[in-house]
Amino acid sequence: MNKTKVSIKDIAQKAGVSTALVSYVLNGKEKESRVGQEIATKVRQIAAELNYQPSHLAKSLRSGKTHTIGLVIADISNPFFANIARVVEDEAKRNGYTVIIGSSDENASKSRDLLEVLINRQVDGFIIVSSENSEDQIRSLNDRHIPFVLLDRYFPEIPTDFVSTDHYRASYDAATHLVKNQYKHIGMIAYDSQMFHMHERIRGYQDALRDNPINAHEHWLKRVKISAIDTGVKAAIDTMLATDQPVDALLFATYSLAVSGLKYINKLGVRVPDDLAIVSFGQAEVFELYHCPITYIKQPIGLLGQTAVELLVKKLTHKPTEPEQILMKAELIERASSKTHKTLIT
Amino acid sequence: MNKTKVSIKDIAQKAGVSTALVSYVLNGKEKESRVGQEIATKVRQIAAELNYQPSHLAKSLRSGKTHTIGLVIADISNPFFANIARVVEDEAKRNGYTVIIGSSDENASKSRDLLEVLINRQVDGFIIVSSENSEDQIRSLNDRHIPFVLLDRYFPEIPTDFVSTDHYRASYDAATHLVKNQYKHIGMIAYDSQMFHMHERIRGYQDALRDNPINAHEHWLKRVKISAIDTGVKAAIDTMLATDQPVDALLFATYSLAVSGLKYINKLGVRVPDDLAIVSFGQAEVFELYHCPITYIKQPIGLLGQTAVELLVKKLTHKPTEPEQILMKAELIERASSKTHKTLIT
């Protein structure tokens, strides 16, 4: 039977030396401490025999480095974030870091708890997909000089490193694509949220309509509470289809909104794209396997995750300079759900 | 500007007392240490003014409790595990625990690294969705008396707490359902894996055919490498449809296999269920939004996650007794993809 844990004391007793000497040897400081080569070898052998596991915890307290990255994501059950997490892990591993993950469930207080738990677990730094109302937490990390990089979502008024999709441009391009394909009544369902990335997605849609130019009906843009997606999306679609200028195309601002919307559209028997064209943010198997493949805004998940790790590792290994702020271009993957409108019965 | 971190030394200097005294007070030991009430109050006030954050790390080393659970899942990008993670988090929070997550990507060596990293981060215990070839790690946790509960996958030869779907029964019921709905040539695509749960899923399928009785063709059961799902599934389906007794129904052993299979079936123009009925393990939006809604084996994700937390918390707060081993029943959600076979042209 193994003992629960082998200590330095156990090794010292077996080797007949002091615990201090064992500690010097196991921390690679035998030369500075003038420990003889023979004794050092003996100590190492005994440590190996006893299967001694150094406490990284105690070691971290001394060195201040743990080679661990804390990844805080907004919702682990959203495939976009789950896939980002996978990329961050792979890239971190390549750089010699282990990732421990926490999910804030789009909840600022949970995010605060997680950050503190992970800080107390001595992670070297963070990659964070922020949740709403977490600006104070980000400012506090800045003030405490804790290294971090924001991923996908950022606060333009706080000077931080970030890497994000250009949400405005992605949305602008998606709406413009619908205009080009002869849709005239283009709606959008977004979250009712203070998050900057959501505002950017809405602004891109609005500017594309204005520039083309299309006079948007007041009911074409709906904001849905993240805590009640299904009822919100249902009400939004009902209103949009019942107005005197019903929408002929719909842009979903997130994957979760789209999934909810597609379920309801199926139920209503609305045909895609003949009755209603669809474009959505995010990528997922659903969009490919839906009876009419869905046009989607493909965010550069691989590049986003890799660059976030790269920026963070740079911060951890060099003196920090000015914040690096990177916006990446999304790609519109055109499928059947938004193909050119054939007949316009208006 | 804040300093990076306020230390006990900072408080001691400001209060004009020793660091030892500050430490006594902040650890609530002023009485044992005969520190005067007035001094104690002053120290606490200064600590509050300076916004002193006790290092939970150092505190953990003393108390040995961190109220943190390590959750190791097999693949974070699989929605089944991502949803399980969400449930475990919610339930842990209700019990006053924070969850930190690691994903082993179905890789035993990564799983080993993660366990060590999390042990060194002083988690109180683990909930683990094991990856293949990780038996030694599980045995080692047992030997080291580290509390853990296995979730969804277990090793029958190792005495551990676990909570899992009854994979054998779920598979048996799914295949029996296909037989009842008049399918005669029932195939299965599973992983080529040593994992016990995968063997159980295959055994359930085989026993259901034997009991009904159907003479299974050798090409009806295919095992696909997890590292090459798309090519494996494609080859399997090609073979199964080209044999002299082509399959008229197909059971997918996992969500990922099903998604890959459905994409290929779409490409081939095979009609579901007229040409080929489909049943799959796992649950996901894909199954609902596919042009023909897919019959699936719904694992009790909520109950699995909740029970795993419950068992672990029990282990953490009571003396451990005999391992608790719980098998839960999955539910077959019958949809159009496996409805009764109308015409059998044989």
Task: Summarize pLDDT for B152-181 with one digit per residue, the tens.
Answer: 999 999 999 999 999 999 999 999 999 999
Q: Is the ipTM of this complex over 0.95?
A: no
CA distance B99 to B18: 37
Task: Select from B50, B72, B77, B113 the residue whose CB has the most chain A CBs within 10 Å, as the one to mutate to test that interface.
Answer: B77
d(CA B3, CA B47) in angstroms, rounded, equals 14
pLDDT greater than 90 at residue A62: no
Kindly state the average pLDDT of the residues A61-85: 83
Interface touch A117/B102, C-beta < 8 Å:
no
If pLDDT is split at 50, 70 and 90, which confidence band does B341 have?
A: confident
In 3-state terms, what secondary structure has residue A55? coil
> Does A289 contact B284 at a Cβ distance shorter than 8 Å?
no
- DSSP of A154-195, one letter per residue? --TTS---EEEE-HHHHHHHHHHHHHHTT--SEEEEEE----
Question: How is chain B split among helix, strand and coil, in percent rounded to 5?
Answer: 45, 15, 35
Q: Are B205 and B316 in contact (CB under 8 A)?
A: no
pLDDT of residue B45: 81
With 80 as the cut, is the pLDDT of residue A58 above it? no
Ordered by start, the domain boundaries in chain A are 8-54, 66-165+301-328, 167-299+332-338
Instruction: Tell me the pLDDT tens digit for each residue of A280-295.
Output: 998 888 898 998 999 9
Q: Do A82 and B83 touch (CB under 8 A)?
A: no
Strand partners, A244: none
pLDDT tens digits, one per residue of B43-53: 888 877 777 76
A positions 240-299 inside 8 Å of B (CB): 259, 262-263, 266, 284-286, 288-291
- What one-character-per-residue DSSP string does A203-258 give? HHHHHHHHHTT----GGGEEEE-GGGHHHHHHHHHHHHHHSSS--SEEEESSHHHH
Q: Are both B8-54 and B66-165+301-328 of the same fold?
A: no
Hey, is the C-beta of A143 within 8 angstroms of any chain B C-beta? yes
Q: In angstroms, what separates the C-alpha of B200 from chain A's closest C-alpha? A: 27
Q: Identify the residue among B67, B95, B285 best suited for mutation to test binding to A, counting A beta carbons within 10 A and taking the highest.
A: B285
Q: Which of A100, A114, A266 sits opposite B102 (nearest CB)?
A: A100
Q: Do B121 and A121 count as a contact with CB atoms less than 8 A apart? A: yes
Asked if B263 and A5 come within 8 Å (Cβ–Cβ), the reply is no
Q: Collect all residues of chain B within an 8 Å Cβ-Cβ radius of residue A90.
A: 105
Q: List, for residues A110-164, the tens digit of each pLDDT value.
A: 999 999 989 888 899 999 999 999 999 999 999 998 999 999 999 999 999 999 9
pLDDT score, position A345: 45
User: What is the greatest pairwise CA distance in chain B?
Assistant: 95
**For B223, how many CA atoms within 13 A lie in the half-sphere containing its CB?**
11
Strand pairing category for B331-333 and B295-298: antiparallel
Which tokens sit at A160?
A: 């931080």
The whole-angstrom separation of Cα B150 and Cα B115 is 13
Residue A259 has pLDDT above 70, yes or no: yes
Closest CB from A58, A103, A120 relative to B56: A120
Q: Could you tell me if A120 lies within 8 Å of chain B, comparing CB atoms?
A: yes
pLDDT at position B1: 35
Which residues of chain B neighbour A76 with C-beta distances below 8 Å? Answer: 76, 82, 85-86, 89, 101
Question: Is residue A333 within 8 Å of residue A278, measured between CB atoms?
Answer: no
Backbone dihedral region for residue A215 (phi beyond 0: left; psi -120 to 50: alpha; all else: beta) = beta
Q: For chain A, how long is the longest CA-to-CA vector?
A: 94
**Mean pLDDT for chain B overall:** 89
CB-closest option in A85, A113, A263 to B288: A263
Out of 2.40.50.140, 3.40.50.2300, 3.40.50.300, 3.10.180.10, the CATH code matching A167-299+332-338 is: 3.40.50.2300
- What pLDDT, on the 0 to 100 scale, is given for residue B54? 61
Cα–Cα dist A188/A197, whole Å? 15
CATH superfamily, with its number, for domain B8-54: lambda repressor-like DNA-binding domains (1.10.260.40)
- Which residues in chain B are contacts of A122 at CB distance < 8 A? 57, 121
Give the side-chain half-sphere CA count within 13 A for B92. Answer: 30
How many beta-carbon pairs under 8 angstroms link A with B? Answer: 139
Residues 2-21 (B) with a CB less than 8 A from some CB of A = 2, 4-5
Q: Does B118 touch chain A (CB under 8 A)?
A: yes
When scoring A122, A286, A337 by the number of chain B Cβ atoms within 10 A, the one with the most, hence best to mutate, is: A286
Q: Which of A157-171, A215-229, A232-246, B283-297 has the lowest mean pLDDT?
A: B283-297
Cβ distance A61 to B56 less than 8 Å, yes or no, reads: no
Question: Residue A93: its chain B contacts at CB < 8 A?
Answer: 110
* Neighbour order of strands in the sheet with B221-224: B221-224, B186-191, B249-252, B277-281, B295-298, B331-333
B223: helix, coil or strand? strand
The candidate with the shortest Cα–Cα distance to B304, out of B165, B175, B161, is B165
B1 and A CB contact within 8 Å: yes
Does domain A66-165+301-328 bear CATH number 3.40.50.2300?
A: yes
**pLDDT cut 70: percent of chain A above it:** 91
Q: Tell me the per-residue pLDDT of B25-73, one tens digit each, with 9 for 90 and over.
A: 776 666 666 777 788 888 888 877 777 766 554 544 445 578 899 999 9
**Cα-based distances in Å from B72 to A72, B104, B143, B310:** 16, 7, 19, 17
Which chain A residues touch B288 with a CB distance below 8 Å?
263
Q: How is residue B70 written in tokens?
A: 């390590």
Who wins on pLDDT, B120 or A34?
Answer: B120
